[in-house]
Amino acid sequence: MRSRASFRRLQRETADVARDLVHDANGTTSMMAIQPLVERARDAPEEVQKGIIRAGLERHLYPFEPRQKQVDAIWHLVFRREDLLLAAKTSFGKSVIFQAVPLFRRGGISLIIVPLDRIGQEQCIKIQGLPGARCAFINGRTDKTDALAQEIETGIYTHLIMGPEIAAEWFRSIASSPSFKKRVCVVAVDELHLVAFWGSGIRPRYAQLSLLRRRLGGGVPWFGCSATLDRTTLETARKMTGFQAGCEFFRSSVDRPEIKLIIETMNLGRHPPHFNQLWNSSRGIEWLYLIDGTPCGCERKWV
């Protein structure tokens, strides 16, 4: 039977090894060196795991210090491997999460569902700039050849971006492939509120994302993010995508202190009454929207 002294010694040794993992992560020269540390840290304390995540983000992926909620979200998807919902303002950096997750796992793939081609194109450009990332944006104009399907199944790409229509149609057979499923480490639904808004109307394939979840299997964590998630919208989107009611939900402030609403009654004309008062009260505001007239000669932006 192990003595208390030997048990405490084992605890100290385990703690030392865990601390060494963070030290090693901060000394890495590439994301490829981070990936084996993630594997070794599977049973390490949470703070050690998050230390490795932070080191990967700061040293190799982004030229800025990550938000704590970003670290927490990536940790949740990489180490806990469970579904996650996030509501945060537009400038929060929600895309950092689904961009980074597959790069912490050897052979990992992030499947990203986007509502618009423009968003998909922008995301693809950003992802291509990340070390170790290779992105494929698949839309209605993509030449969907057998060669492309083979490349996807064999893990050539770290990130796959597509709309719900591609996911529900051409992508079905790939999503059912055992060799592909074992590589997928996250499915991200960007602008999750649009699943509820469009799924029962103009984009019915959004309502079938739960079928994609079924094809991929229960071992793949899903990540849904939006800046607009009221309770009704969230419940509808959950049902269409298969998020459970008890799914972890991170919520960040959606306040935008740089936006100010000023309501002023103004008459049409070159210099409406109270214009000077309105102008002075808008100092420091980048955009000012006028309904009844557009003054001339303004240095600030007016719409």
pLDDT band at 303 (very low <50, low <70, confident <90, very high): very low
- Any idea which residue has 């057998």 for tokens? 146
What Å distances lie between residue 63 and 32, 119, 126, 178, 271, CA to CA?
Answer: 18, 22, 13, 36, 46
Read off φ and ψ for residue 253, nearest 5 degrees. Answer: -60, 135
Residue-wise pLDDT for 100-158, tens only, equals 999 999 999 999 999 999 999 999 999 999 999 999 999 999 999 999 999 999 999 99
Residue-wise pLDDT for 3-42, tens only, equals 666 655 545 545 555 779 999 999 999 999 999 999 999 9
Read off φ and ψ for residue 98, nearest 5 degrees. Answer: -80, -15
CA 20, 22, 27, 28: dihedral to nearest 10 degrees? 110
What Å distances lie between residue 3 and 7, 12, 14, 61, 250, CA to CA?
Answer: 6, 14, 17, 45, 43
Q: Give the global pTM.
A: 0.81
Cα(86)–Cα(234) distance, integer angstroms: 11
Domains of the chain: 1-66 (no CATH), 67-273 (3.40.50.300)
Say if CB 300 and CB 286 are below 8 A apart. Answer: yes
Q: Is the pLDDT of residue 73 over 90?
A: yes
- Alpha carbon 85 to chain centroid distance? 10
Residue 209: burial class (beta carbons within 10 Å; 0-12, 13-18, 19+)? buried
Say if CB 192 and CB 226 are below 8 A apart. Answer: yes
